[in-house]
């Protein structure tokens, strides 16, 4: 399916045809399924353990990767974890007993954040497609979520531009981790709703 769509997109102008919306829906869903099914179960369980043991949790990502990271931070807060986004004005000092989680650690910026967290005595977890890189080797846990970034192994190749697949897969992956934590810790939806901001003026109750 993926190869066929890649060919269709590449030659659509030559053939005066276009790929349909529904074909792209199926392709994007299939890509995300392949990425999520490739995540080692042992990595997921270790990540859950790191989160549960941490005094505080700090999360970091750049660009579009930050969308999934902020969503994860919000849900951790909803479950009662002491979670923060790195460089926000209210984020405290990090140190021994704390956990830094980094989405898609592949740049010099993330590497510097990881090194500083390690120097401060915190544990570090990276989540992304390249646990074998320097960032992953420095981390205490490197979770493999192999969405496309560079188009190199072990990534799942994508018809989508640049790192879109990894960005999507990280959001889904971290929401699944949240669901596992909810079940393991017996967190009720009512508890989570009580911790959600009450300054929005939501017209009704969440599901």
For the chain, what is the domain count?
A: 1
pTM of the complete model: 0.89
**Number of residues that this document lists for the chain:** 207
pLDDT for the residue numbered 203: 78
Q: Which pLDDT tens digit goes with each residue over 122-136? A: 999 999 999 999 999
CATH code, domain with 93 = 3.40.50.10490
Please report whether residue 41 resides in a domain.
yes
Q: How far is 28 from 168, CA to CA, in rounded Å?
A: 9
**What contacts 87, CB < 8 A, 6 or more positions away?**
60
Please report whether residue 193 resides in a domain.
no
Please report whether residue 30 resides in a domain.
yes
Q: Given the DSSP bridges, would you call strands 141-144 and 57-60 parallel, antiparallel or unpaired?
A: unpaired
Q: Give the position of tokens 């510097």.
A: 112
Q: Which domain holds residue 24?
A: 2-185
Please report whether residue 42 resides in a domain.
yes
Give Dmax (Cα) for the chain.
60
Please report whether residue 196 resides in a domain.
no
Please report whether residue 198 resides in a domain.
no
Please report whether residue 48 resides in a domain.
yes
Please report whether residue 117 resides in a domain.
yes
pLDDT score of 13 more than 60? no
């Amino acid at each position: 399916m993926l190869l066929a769509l890649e060919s269709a997109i590449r030659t659509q102008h030559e053939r005066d045809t276009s790929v349909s919306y529904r074909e792209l829906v199926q392709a994007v869903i299939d890509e995300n399924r392949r990425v999520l099914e490739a995540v080692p179960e042992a990595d997921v369980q270790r990540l859950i353990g790191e989160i549960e043991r941490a005094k505080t949790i700090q999360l970091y990502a750049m660009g579009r990767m930050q969308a999934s990271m902020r969503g994860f931070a919000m849900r951790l807060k909803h479950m009662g974890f002491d979670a923060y986004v790195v460089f926000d004005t209210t984020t405290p000092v990090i140190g021994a007993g704390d956990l830094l989680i980094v989405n898609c650690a592949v740049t010099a910026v993330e590497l510097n954040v990881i090194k500083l967290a390690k120097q401060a005595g915190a544990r570090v977890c990276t989540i992304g497609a390249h646990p074998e890189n320097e960032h992953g080797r420095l981390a205490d846990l490197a979770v493999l979520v192999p969405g496309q970034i560079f188009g190199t192994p072990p990534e799942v190749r994508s018809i989508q531009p640049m790192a879109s697949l990894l960005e999507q897969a990280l959001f889904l992956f971290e929401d699944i981790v949240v669901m596992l934590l909810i079940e393991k810790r017996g967190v009720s939806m009512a508890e989570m709703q009580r911790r959600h901001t009450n300054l929005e003026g939501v017209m009704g109750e969440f599901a």
